[in-house]
Amino acid sequence: MPFERRLAAAAQKVTSQALGPYQSAIVRIGFSFTWLLFLLREWPHRLELYGPDGPWSWEMGRQMIADNRSFTVLMWSDGRLWFEIVYGLAVLSAVLLLLGWRTRAVSVVFMAGVLSLQNRSIFMGDGGDNVVHLMAIYLVLTRCAQVWSLDARRAARGRAPGDGPVGPLLWTVLGGFLLAATWFSDVTGEWWLLVLLWVLWLGNALWWLVCRFAPGEPRTLLDVLANLAHNATLAVMMAEVCLVYATAGWYKVQGSRWQDGTALYFPLQLDYFSPWPALSHLLGASGVMVLLLTYGTVIVQVAFPFTLFNRKVKNVLLVAMMLEHAGIALLLGLPFFSLAMIAADSVFLPTAFLLWLGARAARGRDRLTGGRQAGAALPGQSRSGDEAGTRTLVG
């Protein structure tokens, strides 16, 4: 095929389809689930972590945010009631994003909740929080509810995006909060984020108007723009994961403890990173196992970005990285860091595996509910062009 025809076919694909529907859905589910579990686990300690009872006081946070210009609505008030409202909305938005209800609007609330809590007390996080921080922003720009969501179920029942009063009412309420955020922009900062939020809000208003009154070529144009934004953001997610592993691996290569194969031994001896001391000591007592795991970690992280051109090797290393993070959660007591990284890795999962996983989940649901629910958007019901595009992109 001539180069011009291949280029035209590629342009047609990225403009006519939102690629990776199952990959973007599993990323949405993974990160909303991770954030939800974190918020629920820290519920008894929320006031000390991010609220008015924490060692990082509201005034100290205000001074920090005035300097780094980060976004957080918790600087609007230092009262406990406002904090409880924000924390409760963060939990609610995580649940709704997990279910895929009104995802276009809920993803914005989810992002605001993540940024508000993390930027309020920036010293409370770790590497996993940084990944959640970035992915919360990326999810806003993706069409991550095409499958495995209540939105997909509503679409399967033939309901148009602009039907019903819920959507307009929800976006009207969000518009009021956005006006307040703009008014308080002198303390919340990040003017670019406010611009993005206004673009999203106005874009959704335009989308609703077009769906209601001009469903022809204007709707097609908006679909093309949405597909381009989705596909570009999905590519950025993939590049982000590759960058994380490449930088982590190459920095490890430069460390003397990683070079001599003893790096894993030292965290296993720290009580802070030993939820199962007996297991940690048993593993640390085996020099061969420590050596293999230390070198294996470096090899997998450095090699992964170079394996994307070989589907089989990529899938093997993907499994190895997920097992590595599961081991980190078990041995070092970092479950939410591991969950965040596994959710990020999921963007590279093969479509065939995700279809199999979705089918198994659907059968499990059917056993619990006593039969298949009518109108549900079950994975694997159709083999559309989206699947072909997904396989081309992520294998």
In this structure, the answer to whether residues 141 and 272 fall within a common structural domain is no
Q: Sorting pLDDT into bands at 50, 70 and 90, what band is 377?
A: very low
In this structure, the answer to whether residues 49 and 148 fall within a common structural domain is yes
User: 177: Cβ–Cβ under 8 A, 6 or more apart, which residues?
Assistant: 73
Least confident of 88-102, 200-214, 279-293, 368-382: 368-382
Domain hosting 304: range is 248-348
**What is the Cα–Cα distance from 199 to 104, expressed in whole angstroms?**
13
pLDDT in tens, 32-87: 999 999 999 999 999 999 988 888 888 888 888 878 878 888 888 888 999 999 99
pLDDT in tens, 148-201: 999 999 888 877 655 667 778 888 888 888 888 787 765 445 677 778 888 888
H helices of 42-102, where?
46-49, 58-68, 80-99
- Output the CA torsion sign for 73, 79, 80, 81: negative
| Residue from 359, 378, 358, 388 nearest 155 by CA | 378
- In a domain? residue 360: no
Q: What is the mean pLDDT of residues 124-140?
A: 90
pLDDT at 379: 42
pLDDT at 189: 52
In this structure, the answer to whether residues 192 and 326 fall within a common structural domain is no
In this structure, the answer to whether residues 154 and 199 fall within a common structural domain is yes
Q: With beta carbons less than 8 A apart as the criterion, state whether 178 and 198 touch.
A: yes
Domain count, the chain: 2
In this structure, the answer to whether residues 92 and 134 fall within a common structural domain is yes
Residue 347, Cβ density class (10 Å: 0-12 exposed, 13-18 middle, ≥19 buried): buried
Q: What is the pTM of this model?
A: 0.88
In this structure, the answer to whether residues 206 and 282 fall within a common structural domain is no
- In a domain? residue 395: no
- In a domain? residue 221: no
In this structure, the answer to whether residues 210 and 320 fall within a common structural domain is no
pLDDT at 371: 59
In this structure, the answer to whether residues 32 and 146 fall within a common structural domain is yes
Q: Which residue has the tokens 């170079």?
A: 306
Residue type, 365: R
Number of helices and strands (H, E) in the chain?
20, 0
- In a domain? residue 367: no
In this structure, the answer to whether residues 25 and 91 fall within a common structural domain is yes
Q: Sorting pLDDT into bands at 50, 70 and 90, what band is 374?
A: very low
